[in-house]
Structure 1
Amino acid sequence: MVNGTSTISNHVKNCLNKFSKPNNNKNLDDFVSKAAQVNVLAEDKRSITVACAKFCSFDLRPCSIVKGVGSSTLCQSLINLGYQHGQAKLGAPSVNLLLPEPTNVSRTVSQIAQEYRENLKNMLKNDLQSVKLIGNRHPYMLRTSLFNQSKTGENTRKKNFPLLSSYDIDPNHFHVVYISDNGSNLVCGLQGEVYLRYICLCLNLALHNGVDMCPSMENFIKSSQNLCTHFKRYEIDRKVVVSFVKFLSLFKVASEQLSADTTLTLHLVVPWFTKLKASCEPTDDEPILLIQFKNAVSKMLDEKIYLTSLH
Structure 2
Amino acid sequence: MSSKENIQKSIQNGEYTILDKPKSNATWWNNFNRIKDTNDEIINYVQCVRCKQILAYEPKITGSSTLKNHASSCKVTDVSSNNTIENMWTKKDHIPSGIKRLIGDACAKMCSYDMRPYEMVSGKGFELLCHTLIDVGRKISKPIDISSIIPDPTTISRRVQVLAEESRKTFISNLSQHMKNVKMIGVTGDYWKNSFTSDSYFTITLHYHLNGKIESIMLKTIHVTISKTGGSNIKLRGFFFILENTKKLIYDTLSMHGINVDLCHIVFVTDNGSNMVKALECDAHLRCVCHCINLAVQQSIPVCEQLVNTVGSCQSLVTHFKKCELQNKLTTSLKKDVDTRWNSIVEMLNSVDKVYNEILAVLAERKEEHLVDDLDIHLVRDLIILLEPFKNGSEILSAEKESTLHLVLPFVKKFKQVCEINPSDTVPIKQIKRSLLSNIDEKIWLSELHYIATFLCPETKSLSSLSKSERNSVIKSVRNLLKTLGIENHDSMEEPVIYISKKRIKCDAVHDVLKSFNGSLETSSDDDNEPIDEVNDYIKTKISYPKGQSLLQWWQNNSFRFKKLSQLACSLLAIPASSAASERVFSKTGRILEARRQQLSPESLDSLLFLRNF
Please indicate the TM-score interval, normalised by the length of the shorter structure.
0.3 to 0.5
Task: Compare the two structures and name the one with the higher helix fraction.
Answer: 1
Between 1 and 2, higher relative CO (CA 8 Å, sep ≥ 6) is seen in 2
TM (norm. structure 1) is: 0.39
Structure-2-length-normalised TM-score: 0.21
